[in-house]
Structure 1
């Protein structure tokens, strides 16, 4: 099968011919049609999990994928041949990912049936980013009428957070470059906080001017610790502030009466089914910015400035 592989940590991804995996007991074999690209994929290539989980080389990256069940192993009765499925797969040993024509995974992993209303490309853009956004919303317990600031709203997780916040009835403040303002409004943002080379004010200073009373919830998906701390200064006592990249000083937040901290997404199949339901009913738009072929994986992995999701078409 065609696959994208790296030969060692930090190596450039390349196209290779790899054996088709088999569906062992308790597993299903998926013929993949699309694979979502996430920043985490590049981190795995760079060795982020080296020493924490075993890896196999040549390593096939990719966490998110959608396709059809091509084979079913012994003991599996919840999926059948031809089922359209999507999943989030980070299964040790790392290196048997979704940037390939086939993947074999446990049937009880973060795997869900895809509704007829959702294409495989749209489904593949949901798992990691969508589940992270849903986990954040639930951890913060966002309620109707709360002011919620999303720093990094233009990317995959942020684009879902804008919509989920609007669905919850929140007053959503989304950061974006000026030329992305209209898209944020269409996704459900109440206010857009612009940033860029021509804008001298920081995000925090801009919000202090427009919303001097502060905010209830901060989701900061991109900022380093000093900037996160400045943004967290906007949150009122009793509010919540979350970082997805480990930038939160949790003790400092607690001292100010703020909950939250550094969140690592732990959602699975149940959360994925909820996202698919919302996508099928039209309540959640899947923001896809690019659909390159599998062979172009090396060019899009780790690319900055994403606006929505990139999905590899297999």
Structure 2
């Protein structure tokens, strides 16, 4: 911090993908009221990061250009703003950034979206958790009603794209809820998904492009949908009479479809997920990792100087687990 500058990666307009990411030096931000400044050790990329670059949240996000993207970070607090009571300089933390800023050497986070990182949880493991882990957690608990302590009734759960960022967590958390888990993924990742606890694993590459039917003939009470381009008809045929499909990457069409099914009073539901950075949920996940009850799967690590490679890999859509960037 000697010269008050840091390395960062940013873009200055919508569109352009990895080619429009620029390496710059900018002023290190300062922690304002109820904020902490974190020296980053690791950050992870989520599909929503590059979808924002494509304009999916236009004109609301980014709030201004140029924009440093990314939300999931782990590191050490080097400055605390006025009013901060939960943390001090030197604390190791994991955080969700509200306005981006992860692809940099330093970032500012709200105290309310920051949790402690115990020594048993590495920076890469912690950075791999927030958005993907929260999406899986909130899909299963808040929208599907599962109890992760295993005290609820056993249900049949299908997880699509189970080797991806959200899917890997959904499989593991569903098993904590004592669910019977069927999962879809590519052939090369089937053993990995089994190792995460899936009871049945299906290769998604079939002649019709959709493999959802359980080999044991089970109908699903819950489908955690982390893939793309699967028609409602394929889900509906494999759901129980009151089954729920939680779409973890909803677009406009998903929201409209969910509304239409509500209007029709269907007992089978399509529910869009809008992930919320709830501190208590993130702290719960971090402690599961500490207890080795949850394992973040990391696809690859890239230096900040090669952030565009990580960005392009995420856009490609075939990562196994999470893609990390390290300053």
2:154–2:179 CA contact under 8 A, matched in 1: yes
Q: 1:221 aligns with which of 197, 218, 226?
A: 226
5+ long unaligned stretches in structure 2:
1-5, 147-151
Query: What residue in structure 1 maps to residue 236 of structure 2?
Result: 232
Q: 2:279 aligns with which of 249, 269, 273?
A: 269
Q: Does 1:32 align with 2:40?
A: yes
Query: What residue in structure 1 maps to residue 194 of structure 2?
Result: 185
Deviations 1:183-232 (A, max 9, x none): 01100000001122xx325435x516x243421111111223x6244223
Query: What residue in structure 1 maps to residue 180 of structure 2?
Result: 171
Task: Give TM-score scaled by structure 2 length.
Answer: 0.88
Deviation at 1:292, TM superposition (A): 1.0
Task: Give TM-score scaled by structure 1 length.
Answer: 0.91
The alpha-carbon distance between structure 1 residues 213 and 186, as it changes in their structure 2 partners (threshold 3 A), is closer
**Alignment partners' CA distance in 2, 1:121 and 1:230:** 36
1:176–1:195 CA contact under 8 A, matched in 2: yes
Q: Give the count of matched residue pairs.
A: 304
Deviations 1:80-135 (A, max 9, x none): 000001111123xxxx4111011122222x11000110011110000000000000
Q: Structure 1 residues 298-307 or 255-264, which shifts more?
A: 255-264
Query: What residue in structure 2 maps to residue 85 of structure 1?
Result: 93
Q: 1:43 aligns with which of 40, 51, 58?
A: 51
Q: 1:285 aligns with which of 292, 295, 310?
A: 295
Q: Cα RMSD (Å) of the superposition?
A: 1.8
5+ long unaligned stretches in structure 1:
none
Q: 1:156 aligns with which of 155, 159, 165?
A: 165
2:74–2:95 CA contact under 8 A, matched in 1: yes
**Alignment partners' CA distance in 1, 2:269 and 2:277:** 20
Secondary structure at 1:22 match in 2: coil
Query: What residue in structure 2 maps to residue 8 of structure 1?
Result: 13
The alpha-carbon distance between structure 1 residues 291 and 183, as it changes in their structure 2 partners (threshold 3 A), is same
Deviations 1:215-267 (A, max 9, x none): 1111111223x624422331111221111222362233664312451111124
Instruction: For 1:229-268, list aligned pairs within 5 A.
Output: 229-246=233-250, 247=254, 249-250=257-258, 251-252=260-261, 255-268=265-278
2:261–2:270 CA contact under 8 A, matched in 1: no
Deviation at 1:146, TM superposition (A): 1.2
1:33–1:66 CA contact under 8 A, matched in 2: yes
Query: What residue in structure 2 maps to residue 112 of structure 1?
Result: 115
**Alignment partners' CA distance in 2, 1:233 and 1:295:** 47
Query: What residue in structure 2 maps to residue 137 of structure 1?
Result: 140
Q: Does 1:313 align with 2:326?
A: yes
Q: 1:207 aligns with which of 213, 216, 233?
A: 213
Query: What residue in structure 2 maps to residue 101 of structure 1?
Result: 105
**Alignment partners' CA distance in 2, 1:172 and 1:263:** 20
